[in-house]
């Protein structure tokens, strides 16, 4: 099972998903069941790629199911999903992603622009009707449902804690994460959940007398202040 995801009983009417075809929020067991809208007059967009196209007379008679020459040649028969990216990945979490990528410059820019410093990753579920597809979910009022797993990097500051142990990072990269954490804290990020995640993953640092502070001890000092 992927991080930040959970299997769910799709009869749970409290959870909604975004339909990749029409872009509307629907209960999970109704996703992907909307019909292709009928077109009046000649079709404009290809059924399989969604691109504006000119159609042969035989294809034009198919109305909304008309396919362009390129899709016919490639034997593409699936229906175009204009909202697939949003339906699969949910609301953009730009600050969380910038921290994950250790993009210090972008993090600082977003904070200066007033972005929500405690941005929470959206919860994803998998319903029987969607097979192996993990879907971000929404509440009945249309708001993204936040992920609440205390052991996952669900907020920017917790993402700092999570990324710190990446074996591909050198000490300089880890210190950039510490600078990002300091900036997040200066802009009001709550530290308690990040400190608890740190302790659950690494335990409290116990440097020996005379040891130089490394990124781990620096970060823990910030989180424990």
* Residue 52 resides in a domain: yes
pLDDT of residue 127: 64
* Residue 169 resides in a domain: no
pLDDT tens for residues 150-177? Answer: 999 999 999 999 999 999 999 999 999 9
Q: Determine the Cα–Cα distance for residues 180 and 118; give it in Å rounded to an integer.
A: 13
Q: At residue 22, does pLDDT exceed 50?
A: yes
pLDDT of residue 210: 65
Its pTM stands at 0.74
* Residue 181 resides in a domain: no
* Residue 55 resides in a domain: yes
Mean pLDDT value across the chain = 88
Q: What's the domain range around 74? A: 46-79
Give the model's confidence band at 206: pLDDT under 50 very low, under 70 low, under 90 confident, else very high: confident
* Residue 168 resides in a domain: no
Q: Determine the Cα–Cα distance for residues 68 and 222; give it in Å rounded to an integer.
A: 58
Q: At residue 13, does pLDDT exceed 80?
A: no
Residue 162 contacts by C-beta under 8 Å, 6 or more apart in sequence?
A: 152, 153, 197, 201
* Residue 58 resides in a domain: yes
């Amino acid at each position: 099972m992927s991080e930040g995801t959970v299997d769910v009983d799709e009869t749970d009417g409290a959870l909604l998903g975004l339909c990749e075809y029409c872009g509307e929020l629907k209960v999970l067991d109704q996703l992907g069941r909307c019909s292709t809208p009928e077109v009046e007059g000649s079709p404009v967009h290809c059924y399989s790629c969604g691109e504006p196209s000119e159609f042969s007379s035989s294809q034009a008679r198919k109305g909304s199911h008309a396919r362009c020459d390129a899709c016919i040649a490639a034997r593409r028969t699936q229906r175009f999903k204009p909202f697939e990216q949003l339906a699969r990945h949910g609301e953009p979490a730009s600050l969380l992603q910038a921290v994950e990528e250790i993009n210090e410059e972008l993090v600082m820019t977003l904070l200066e622009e007033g972005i929500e410093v405690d941005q929470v990753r959206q919860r994803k579920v998998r319903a029987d009707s969607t097979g192996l597809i993990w879907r971000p979910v929404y509440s009945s009022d249309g708001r993204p449902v936040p992920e609440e797993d205390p052991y996952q990097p669900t907020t920017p500051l917790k993402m700092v804690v999570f990324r710190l142990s990446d074996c591909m990072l050198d000490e300089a990269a880890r210190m950039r994460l510490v600078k990002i954490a300091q900036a997040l804290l200066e802009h009001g990020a709550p530290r308690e959940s990040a400190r608890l995640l740190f302790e659950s993953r690494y335990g409290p640092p116990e440097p020996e007398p005379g040891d130089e502070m490394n990124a781990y001890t620096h970060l823990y000092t910030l989180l424990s202040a």
